[in-house]
Amino acid sequence: MKKGAYIVVENIGVIGAGAMGKGMVKNLCEAGLKVRVFDLSPDALKVVEDCGATTVESLENIAKGGLDLLLLSLPTSQAVEETLLGEKNLLDKMEEGSYIVDCSTIDPGLAIKIGEKADKKGVYFFDAPVSGGPGGADSGTLAIMLGGNKEALQEIDEFLNIIGENIFYIGENGMAQVLKICHNMVVAATTVSLSEAFITGAKWGLDAQTMADVIGKSVGRSGTLEIFGPTMLEETYEEPLFKLSHMYKDVKLYLEAIKNIDNPSLMGSLAYNIYSAAMQQGLQDNDHSVVNKVLEDFSALNK
């Protein structure tokens, strides 16, 4: 349904119904919107079917019959590029005036490239990385960073407020991705810092929970401690809130972005090396805070 130069969002396609996507789909369905979903996992499709979404078995069917908005929640830049610009070329199947909202965390350069191609077709593309984890996706309280056409953004305000609570317009395509990978570098670096502090305290005989309680009420408190601290203290790494493979990918994107502006990276490089060591140990499906275990092994804490 058109309204002026834009399309009012009623029919939505979603690609990616994993840890983040399934929560967004649930909230869109509960808001009464028509949602069509594709995911490679049959189990993921079953979950969103139970929420009221329609599912499709092939990617090319996601846009059949027309979409007002296509939402992506995919794990890598390659997956996003192949979906929108590759053999399936879903961008080409979107109608003029429609929207693509990519909630994946990808290379800023790719977001710029997709935005330029979408603009030529008259499609509004927003890179829209999110923060808040699966819990935020499920509760509709995500922070959403947006890069794209600011004027067109007003027409999808209602949609964005269904899946998120804190909506930030950052700038042109790519800028939201730059902010997101900077943010995730901070999370990675603070995770490493917390781990080192816990190990140091333990070697002096401090109780880790006591340390977390005090730091959590002091200047050193952080969202990293609040969200991932319990996983580190209870060692529930096999119940990931944010997988190691995803954080490793994001810190790697940060370092690639650093190279593009010829800027030195001290903390980012350090965090990357530690996350890389964890990946080499085959811990990719664990929570990213499993780097705590890697550092404990380095320090011989439990030996």
Within 13 Å, how many C-alpha atoms sit on residue 205's CB side?
Answer: 0
Give the length of the chain: 303
Tell me the C-alpha distance between 167 and 266, whole Å: 30
**Single-letter code of the amino acid located at 158:** E
Placement of tokens 């029919």 in the chain: 11
Tell me the C-alpha distance between 25 and 138, whole Å: 9
Under 8 Å CB-to-CB from 95, ≥6 apart: which residues? Answer: 7, 66, 67, 123
The 10 Å Cβ neighbour count of residue 276 is 14
**Single-letter code of the amino acid located at 298:** F
Within 13 Å, how many C-alpha atoms sit on residue 245's CB side?
Answer: 8
Q: Are 62 and 71 in contact (CB under 8 A)?
A: no
Placement of tokens 């800027």 in the chain: 263
> Active-site residue 259, yes or no?
no
Compute the chain's Rg from CA coordinates. Answer: 20
Q: Beta-strand (E) ranges in the chain?
A: 2-3, 6-7, 11-15, 34-38, 54-55, 69-72, 99-102, 124-127, 130-131, 142-147, 164-171
* Set 180, 243, 249, 293: catalytic member: 180
Q: Are 100 and 125 in contact (CB under 8 A)?
A: yes
- Which residues are annotated as catalytic? 180
